[in-house]
Amino acid sequence: MWRNNNPRANTRQRVKGFTLIEVLVSIAIFASLSVAAYQVVSQVQRSNALSQERTQRLNEIQRAMVMMDNDFRQMAMRQTRTNGEEPASRLVFWSDYLLDSDTKGLMFARLGWHNPQQQFPRGEVTKVGYRLKEETLQRVWWRYPDTPVGQQGTVTPLLTQVESFDMRFYDGKQWKKEWAEEKALPKAVSVVLTLKDYGEITRTYLTPDGTLSQKEESSGDSNNG
């Protein structure tokens, strides 16, 4: 029997390449692993972005609540003037389209704005207001509680995605949706905000309730503080 003793020929017979099926299977496995890895990375990125978005939103809500706390906890028994008119008989204003609000607007005087040794051109009592514009709760403030004709307040956006802004007033016996008492503050106020993402948020504040005396009224009329 003839036998091929050529080692090179034997080597060529033993060397084989990948078949087409093996190549296709390898490509399919690699593609599957790549897709899985991409999905994992993409999911991590989406989760991180969502977490950052929620954190920013919670920070926005917290900042707005802090600002509102500072204002409502220091409501002042102080009459205010607008556009150089006579002192208003009401200490709290809550009415439709007040301050050019899309719905109802709120306005009152507050204490606690420190002015050491009168270094700044303002008093320690200021006038603040809240309004809803294009689903954004805005704060409006003036340097003095008595403002001349044409003086515009400084507007600060506080909170976005606000569907509604409402107030309730406690007179010592019951909660009311309106406050029409003259020269008097309610015993407590409740702020109700409805947010698109977190629903209804309610904050209730006690006030220095009472009635403005003639002496206090005269004192308030004589200066800006």
d(CA 119, CA 83): 26
Which strand (E) or helix (H) includes residue 44? helix 20-72
If one counts the domains in the chain, the total is 1
Question: Has residue 29 been placed in a domain?
Answer: no
- Averaged confidence pLDDT in the chain: 84
CATH number at residue 206: 3.10.610.10
Q: Which domain holds residue 150?
A: 69-221
Question: Has residue 37 been placed in a domain?
Answer: no
What is the length of the chain?
225
Q: Confirm if 196 and 161 have CB atoms less than 8 A apart.
A: yes
- CA 217, 219, 222, 225 torsion: positive or negative? negative
d(CA 77, CA 110): 8
Q: In the numeric block, which tokens belong to residue 162?
A: 């606000």
Q: Give the tens place of pLDDT for each residue, 72-109.
A: 999 999 999 988 788 889 999 999 999 999 999 999 99
Q: Give the tens place of pLDDT for each residue, 163-173.
A: 999 999 999 99
Residue 147, pLDDT score:
87
